[in-house]
Structure 1
Amino acid sequence: MVDTWHVPGFTEVDVLGTGGFGRVVLAKHDASGRMAAIKYLRAEYLADARIADGFRREAWLLSGVRSAHVVRLFDFVETPDGAALVMEAVPGVSLRALLAAENVLAPESALAILKGSLLGLADAHAAGVVHRDYKPGNVLVSREGESKLVDFGLATLDGHNGLTAGSPSYMAPEQWSGQPGMPATDVYAATCVFYQCVTGQVPFRADTTEGLRSLHQAAPVPVDAVPEALRPLIARGMAKDPAWRPATAHAFVSELETVARKAYGKNWEKRGWKRLAASAAALTALTPLALLATAGTAAAPVGAGTAAGIAGGVGGGVPATGSGVGATAVIAGKIAAAVLVVGALVAGGVAIFANHDDPPAQAAALTVGLQTTSGRDPALPVTYDLQFPQVSGGPDPAVRQRINDALRAPVDKRLKAIRDGVAGNREMFQERGDTAAAHTTARILLRTPSLLSVRYDHDLDSDVLSHTTWRFPETVNVDLGTGQLLGPKDMFRPEVLTAAGMRTLTQRLEPVTKNGFCRVPTIDGAGEKVTIDAADRGSGTDHVPGAAIGFTATGAEFEIQWYDLGCDTASGKETVTLPYNGIGDLLLPKFLTMLGKPAPASSPPASPPPSTSVSPAPTTPSLGQSAQGPTYTNPRFGFTALISESYLATPYAPPNGEGMTFSSSDADATLTVWGANSTQSAAQAMAGAVAAVEADGGQVTYQKVEGDRYSVSGYQGDGKIFYERGFTGSASMAALRWVYPREDKDQFDGLVSSTVEGFRPGDLSRPH
């Protein structure tokens, strides 16, 4: 094999560049006279399966990207003598050459270049492709005032591992660790390049690769060298944790434009390109690409048709008509027989991949990140800083768009409500000189392959709109397979969405609330208790929970706004977590599968249990038996605790008292609940608990007394985490204690919190 091979039908004009694996040339299409850039792989590397496959993969990935800001791939051609990518030829120079000449760019110019290449990354991300090697040499600046991305040689499908490779000066912390490629990885690299554009140097320098790795992974971003107006943008884009960067390049563009307009005015982009025009044109004139001014670019070459003809007359080509989707958009016959999976050969020994064919069969993984929209309303005294999740990748762009629309909708709706509220009180805002500052933070509660559950916490700083109803939590649950929002009918069994079913749910929830469900005040005194049933608040409403519901790894989170259920406004709001053992039998089996939870064997009760408690008070279980129901109520001391049905119950006998220990062999965790006759104060009881832990070689890290209640936590002598909460009265006490491995802390935090909040100590004013 020799390097004299060239793509048939093209005549080489000049060499644009050479590298370790091949060369890039400017070539003229013989039939049309149009120019194209052709990237050749050296012949000897065709025998190296890893390199050859990488070259083919670059063609596959480029084929799925349709963007005015990415150099277009027209064809991929491979024979036993060579392989080549036939690409768009753009009259311009690399950002690397521009920086070599200018060293430092005006902020507006740097922002303009960054915006164009980010738009190219955004289109790549939308196709599920992560570039992984964004650097000055891979950004092309045209004399017409645009920037384009080139060279996807290290690209991967979003969420899939590639080589731990790239350009060290611009590699994100997760890339150094060999983690899967994600859009936020490209955002980091683009921000590093932007930093170089405005300062004249890369963000981090070191004498060794390991030193550079350490700086990228741990050192603070050196923003002091950056113009002050741009520091927040660079700090966001170079955040060590990808979750704190803009989730996608498209999100970064939005933030960039907000910063640019505020710092440099509405015409910043036009001024930025105007300042670059002279330098870009002068540098381009020194390259073979200057010929494109007269010869034209390969907007409609026929590489595929030419190669196909050589392959044995499989299909003939005609020039494309400028549709904007590449040279092969219009071809006489689709040459389907010639377009095979890359690496296969057709008659005559030529394989062609054209950019109108199907993308790789391997679907891009769906990834989730947080992004923020910030700004100031141009007509109203409103500022906003609103966070929301967005996804990238995934096999279906339409589903991805539906998911992102559903995840963005809460903040859009929130901003509209605030604008309407301010507009309706404009005079009062003017009199007080008030500005409504809206803030929303988003938190991913649960992500499974089928479902995404998100909580939004909406806050508002305003003297005029000061009512508590302007500050509330909200949840969104999305089916990742369809992009559809999930409502109560998608979650609960049909028999639960009835008056009787809502009473059952109310009784399940009440023990884990702080103060129980309130009673509606009447003229004669306290009236009936409110329920979770939305139908109780108005005629014609379905029997559904009157609260937003999110889902975590350990249970369902109910965001209850008590005033919405009929309580007084002072009751406020509360987050109530009901573990899956207390709600699983109320949920649809299909929905439990989406949550990654097993479906219970029994159906839920159609009406509340006859007892007024959530579950009948069980008799003391014998050793090895499970406690009955989602709660355990001790018949002697009367305390009630939320427990897990899967845990085994063993009697526990403290001095002057009794209780139960619930243990999980799988998780190596225990929950012990007990009551005892005692006249100790909370401080005395806590001191005894602390002394016992320290005597056993453990360490107490937190202790607090609040009236007749104490809390203490830390590490036992065996290294496990413990948490104890106790209540004391004039004649008795009640307490619970969790013990679990420290490595499982994240898994248990939610469960421990819900159990502690749901503990009811019983009557402590008398001995038992």
Structure 2
Amino acid sequence: MNDTWHVPGYAEVDVLGTGGFGRVVLAKHEASGKMAAIKYLRAEFLADARIADGFRREAWLLSGVRSRHVVRLFDFVESPQGAALVMEAVPGVSLRALLVAENVLPPEAALAILKGSLLGLADAHAAGVVHRDYKPGNVLVSREGESKLVDFGLATLDGHNGLTAGSPAYMAPEQWAGHPGRPATDVYAATCVFYQCITGRRPFEADTSEQLRTLHGGAPVPLEAVPEAVRPLIARGMAKDPAWRPATADAFVTELEAVARKAYGKNWEKRGWKRLATSAAALTALTPLALLTAAGTAAAPVAAAGAGAGVTATGTGTGLTAVMAGKIAIAVAILGGLVAGGLVIFPPGDDDPPAPPAAAAALSVAVQTLSGRDPALPISHELQYPQVSGGPDAAVRQRINDVLRAPVDKRLKTVRDAVADPSTLERIREEGETPALRSSARVLRQTPGLLSVRYDHDLDSTVLGHTTWRFPEALSVDLTTGRVLGPQDVFRPEILTAAGMRTLTQRLTPHAKNGFCTVPTVTGAGDPERQVGMDAADRPGGGDHVPAATFGFTETGAEFEILWYELGCASAAGNETVALPYAELDDLLQPKFLTMLGKTAPAASSTPPPTSARPGAGTTYTNARFGFTTQVPPGYTASPSVPEDGEGMRFTNAALGATLTVWGTNNSGGLKPAEKLAQLVAAVEGNDGRVTFRSADADGYTASGYHGDGRIFYEHEASGAGSAAGLSWIYPAEHKTELDKPVTDTVKAFKPGDLSRPH
């Protein structure tokens, strides 16, 4: 066996190309004078059962495809001396050659080429064949205004596995993973090529196959580079999940035509081919087949040379056609490549990706839109989710994109599960409706270390018409690790307690449109109603003391996406976004998280902003260390107060001569509440003051009266096994009337925090 073997009855005219597995020649059928392209398998590979079987499979699959948009197979010849595919030789140039000459094609022209090759794919899909290697080099553009699909060397039957192979720049995520070929796999590759046609570059570019695998698997398509009119078409065709792409090439053609007519008018295809005519004709005129025809030597015989690969007939000149073949990729792509790790990597120049930029770009964010209909259920969907690209670490980028995609995947599954319920599905069909699922995504804040995102989910359906199907949610992602940031990453430990969640509730309450609702108590004892709060542990089933809402971060503060019906309010209350400014939030947050937000973390003894900065409105102060909370009236300025083994804050209104002090201390002295009360009484009376009320038990003490200078005082401290927290008021008696309500309000609102442990 040697490479001088030729298919009997054909005279070789020119060598069109060579590759790792074989060569492609232009040949004349001696009996009819018709030209053919013959793809030979190298002799040494006939002994390799896997390669030889693949060559036979290509012939078998191609023989089953009948389409004017697919290059025809005339014959498959196999003998002990060699094997060859005899195929139609069509005057034309590959799309790759056209892109080399033009770089960027007008959208109508690119759409026209895409449509023709998609029709070829559709005919292949109808025959149960998946191409798996759609790329510019495998699309032939003829001078008659047609595009044809060539080279089924990597094709498989629909749903069957083949070698994990292809051209990396155009391979779908499932193809990288070695999953069975399906029509949607070809749709993805065709969309990649269309993207390249209208932008002049491939959607994803990298210097290694592993990097390309990551980009195709998780990076968003950079849609900003393409005309807005065709962005939905590209987003749909390049969806990461094959279930979200058009199921077949034929279905994609339908969508393509609708987009093209809307964007470019009813004559878009005619204009597209007209724009291609000049370039295609000029390049076709330089192909070996056209040169031979023009020289009048198309029927000239070629004698096989004993030691050569073939000698061109007189009148054509080996040099001319060889040079042109080297410059222009013509009708039939070469089945050649290097097998590396189970992945066929085609040699440079055959649609391989170019070298990447010198340095990886910083992470950028783009919102992707996926739309379509469920193939099995009456559901339509239009879903947005952010995706990131760039950055130095492909694995981190993949994790980020996975978590950013997760909310819409979960939402789609929830609706699918609901509609799939037999009783629900029956009602939907009776109504004749198609529930329409929509999700919009919005980036709230991005810093070098953080991305915070909000999703708004909606559902148009009369059957599934309850308000609980429409809600917002938010999440924040650590851009250095790709991890979703939970409450433990965001809030200080003392805030993730029952007292801390009460503090959060109190701070959010004034910002909610109608405050937090009240609900009846279960036992009926005590207060007939209780106010709901932000503590997830209060919900049925209990759990950790974390916010019972998702939350995201903006330039000015946090947005809590509160679903009132989940907190126990009437379901008619729906949901609400409650914004809490950083001025009321910073002291609740972890210092590390504040740094991620690009803010300076407050000191351990955090000082809240002076309430005088917010005239006419009070504020809530929570101590980050001890977790106690108090309400501060408007017009008071803050300064630190530091008791022994503790921490506190003093709020003063100079105009009224009033002072509110709050504190937390560790019970290092071991004094009981009654003993502390006795010390207070002794100090007041020792300075000519008078105590008018006193009370003490195991949980704390309370006292009020007059100091020796006539000022009124009130003091209360709550005590636990590990720490204590308290507040006191001192103010002139002449202002008693105007201070009665503020004092009462702060006493009622005071929450001591977690007293079970020292801080």
TM class, shorter-length: 0.3 to 0.5
Return the TM-score normalized by structure 1. Answer: 0.43
Return the TM-score normalized by structure 2. Answer: 0.44
Larger Rg: 2
